Amino acid sequence: MRWLGGQLGGTAQLPASKSESNRALILQALAGGGQLDNLSDANDTQLMRRLLAEPNAEVVDAEDAGTVMRFLTAYLTVTDRRVLLTGTPRAQERPIGILVDALRQLGATIEYAANQGYPPLRLQGWQPDLTATEPVELSVRGDISSQYISALMMIGPTLPAGLRIRLTGKVGSRPYIRMTQSLMQHFGNNCRDLGAAIEVRPQPYHPADYTIESDWSAASYWYAMVALAPPGSEITLPGLRQQSWQGDQAIVGIMAQLGVATEFLTDGVRLTQCPSQPSVSQDFSDCPDLAQTVAVVAAAKGTVLEMTGLESLRIKETDRIAALQNELAKFGASLTEEGAERFYVRSSNFQVDGQTIETYHDHRMAMAFAPLALLGPLAVQAPGVVRKSYPQFWAELEKAGFEIG
């Protein structure tokens, strides 16, 4: 792929938020109704819709979707489904023991069909304590994946006396916990985030209508393109809200340091160029899905980037730290660990000249590196991986002035 020249401009269409969509689908199912508008067309969301619509399936395949696997583990448990829940080989390497242990404490019978602590899972029954008068209390580590916590939060109202989740250790991706809380409240449950604990009351959900916001994670790739585009470039992204529940809205502040200014419009944002900083320090604990995009932009611009809060990146679709190290090296950049969980991106003589990007079955690797085509020709292996979260990504790039292929 390559850039055909001139300034970047116009309007790019974003997918709806996958994170909001998948939570809303679970809550809609638990509430027994409600109209959801602007659902994501990402494969993860369409997969969630299909699986929720198949109540008699004996085998449920979550494919490579971590959110689907984790949310359905909890949902299928409390709806007393007897199924085998499985996924791709990579999905079977992503741990789920923390969630299974918690569900067992709540009354679930779950067995591992292969390796302890990992899918596939055999869900074999649900027997909560119907005599409970106090919320069931769980201690859950917060430093692995907030999706475990969100999965438990959403099923909490189905327990006879509710649920109290005590969070131990460093809690990553807290904005996603707040997103879950806000959507639960929209569907009628007064869940309370007390910082070190989350209290979920045994209030039944009620059907509610909701319109999904556009995806800030997807917007991050357009921020990267504006940062690397010729002077005078800008882009408009509709459907984004200034008051957003999505943690990846953090891209606004991060990219302000890397050369992109954000103007909020009535319906969306306009991105324009601004001066960038020679060095940036960023904690990605609350926005790990932005790490690849920001690392690539910093490397391309010669900005020294200090990165912390990357703990969860090793258990994503691939080991994203290793993948970044491999691919950045092809351009003359490095990602090095200097101290415990403290990483630095540095580059010298950064060049884009026909390199091939390996994507490691990871949609975000493809989209994080694609903006480098503004600086020279490159190839992206297995470009179809973007279907996981942004199926129209390549078509939108063609509209913007890239030659794909």
**Over pLDDT 70: what percentage of the chain?**
100
* 145 among annotated binding-site residues: yes
Tens of pLDDT, residues 83-106: 999 999 989 999 999 999 999 999
Residue 313 or residue 206, greater confidence: 206
Amino acid 85: pLDDT: 98
- Average pLDDT of the residues in 147-159: 96
Amino acid 315: pLDDT: 78
Residue 316: band (very low, low, confident or very high) from pLDDT cuts 50, 70, 90? confident
Amino acid 191: pLDDT: 93
User: Taking 90 as the threshold, does the pLDDT of residue 187 lie above it?
Assistant: yes
* 170 among annotated binding-site residues: no
Catalytic residue among 289, 319, 353, 362: 289
Amino acid 312: pLDDT: 83
Q: Mention every residue, 6+ apart, whose C-beta is less than 8 A from residue 155.
A: 30, 74, 75, 77, 78, 163
The CATH number of domain 18-211, selected from 3.30.460.40, 3.40.50.1370, 3.50.50.60, 3.65.10.10: 3.65.10.10
- Average pLDDT of the residues in 109-127: 97
Residue 173: band (very low, low, confident or very high) from pLDDT cuts 50, 70, 90? confident
pTM tops 0.85, yes or no = yes
Q: Is 289 a catalytic residue?
A: yes
Domain boundaries, the chain: 2-15+214-403, 18-211
Q: How many beta carbons lie within 10 A of that of residue 58, not counting itself?
A: 9
CATH of domain 2-15+214-403: 3.65.10.10
* 94 among annotated binding-site residues: yes
Angstrom distances, CA of residue 78 to CA of 55, 61, 75, 131: 13, 18, 5, 17
CATH fold match for the domains 2-15+214-403 and 18-211: yes
User: Taking 80 as the threshold, does the pLDDT of residue 143 lie above it?
Assistant: no
- Across the chain, mean pLDDT equals 95
* 289 among annotated binding-site residues: yes
Question: Hey, which residues does 280 pair with through a beta bridge?
Answer: 305
* 330 among annotated binding-site residues: no
Dihedral sign of CA atoms 145, 146, 148, 149 in order: positive
Amino acid 317: pLDDT: 82
* 351 among annotated binding-site residues: no
User: Taking 90 as the threshold, does the pLDDT of residue 170 lie above it?
Assistant: no
